[in-house]
Amino acid sequence: CYGSEIETPHLDALAKGGLRFTDFHNKPRCCPSRASLLTGMYPHQAGMGMMTNDHGLYPYPAYIDDLSRDCVTIAEALKAGGYTTLMTGKWHLTPLGPGEDKHSWPLQRGFDRYYGILQGSGSYFDPGTLTLDNQPIEVSKEDRNFYLTDAIGEYSTKFIQEAAGKEKPFFLYAAFTAGHWPLMAREDRIAKYKGRYAAGWDAMRRARHSKQLSIGIVKEEWGLTERDPRVPAWDVVSFKEWEQRRMEVYAAQIDSLDENIGKIVAK
């Protein structure tokens, strides 16, 4: 819905039937962004001025790097209002070092159900810190079909189905990890995008910009920004096949994300 060549029909449908922001700003990193999303506050107000692995580095309330008890999460507010509160996906709002307890895990911050990873990133096929509610779990070694994006989608629909049988409203926060590194996707989904990036990133940038102009995301007078100076021109890239593969895998990650968003919306 923002001019990409990746096929995202479900995201496109949400944009068409809802809102698509053309002027918005995120926080620079995972933990600060998530703190703001869940509390509606600036990250420093929520105690998340840096990352959770920076916990204890600075003796200031803005840098405890653990979701502050002086703020209220949207889950805590809605739960107090009678909602069933559900979460799936990436948490990344609590320190996970030795001796840390569960005081800032999802269920301790207002959610009734949770499935996902507590850490910031990891394998899509065998993720660390995988958690169901308050209990650490592991992917079965026999489960060769496990893929984290699909699992987040499956638990999202499962939680919705459970909540729909109750006589009260529910709220679901689905925090998919895709397309965060590492670049990992199913082979059949990667094959779908084989050759899609053969023209290289310079041509892709121009194509995306042209599409953004046609759908009104950007204005023509703004022009196309210069390529990041740290990135070489595609013409001089030595390992083009490898770079293409990286872009194909990323596209496959987003394709899987879109498919699972579609399952949630359909439920």
Is residue 89 domain-shared with residue 142, that is, in the same domain? yes
Is residue 139 domain-shared with residue 150, that is, in the same domain? yes
In a domain, 259, yes or no: no
Is residue 88 domain-shared with residue 161, that is, in the same domain? yes
Domain boundary among 152, 167, 182: 182
The predicted pLDDT at position 28 comes to 77
Residue-number span of the structural domain to which 59 is assigned: 1-71
Token pair belonging to 42: 């600036």
Is residue 237 domain-shared with residue 201, that is, in the same domain? yes
pLDDT tens digits along 22-36: 888 877 789 999 999
The total of structural domains in the chain comes to 3
Is residue 172 domain-shared with residue 228, that is, in the same domain? no
List the catalytic residues.
30, 92
Residues facing residue 135 across a β-bridge: 132
Q: pTM higher than 0.75 for the full model?
A: yes
Is residue 48 domain-shared with residue 19, that is, in the same domain? yes
Is residue 162 domain-shared with residue 120, that is, in the same domain? yes
pLDDT tens digits along 146-197: 999 999 999 999 999 999 989 999 999 999 999 999 999 999 999 999 999 9
In a domain, 162, yes or no: yes
Is residue 223 domain-shared with residue 127, that is, in the same domain? no
Q: What does each of the 267 residues of the chain score in pLDDT, given as a tens digit? A: 999 999 999 999 999 999 998 888 877 789 999 999 999 999 999 999 998 888 878 888 899 888 999 999 999 999 999 999 999 999 999 988 777 889 999 999 999 999 999 999 999 999 999 999 999 999 988 888 999 999 999 999 999 999 998 999 999 999 999 999 999 999 999 999 999 999 999 999 999 999 999 999 999 999 999 999 999 999 999 999 999 999 999 999 999 999 999 999 998
In a domain, 260, yes or no: no
From residue 131, how far is each of 100, 250, 254 by CA, in Å?
A: 15, 25, 23
Is residue 88 domain-shared with residue 166, that is, in the same domain? yes
Is residue 193 domain-shared with residue 215, that is, in the same domain? yes
In a domain, 146, yes or no: yes
The predicted pLDDT at position 58 comes to 84
The predicted pLDDT at position 98 comes to 75
Is residue 83 domain-shared with residue 146, that is, in the same domain? yes
Is residue 178 domain-shared with residue 78, that is, in the same domain? yes
In a domain, 263, yes or no: no
Domain boundary among 10, 42, 71: 71
In a domain, 93, yes or no: yes
In a domain, 80, yes or no: yes
In a domain, 201, yes or no: yes
Domain boundary among 71, 99, 121: 71
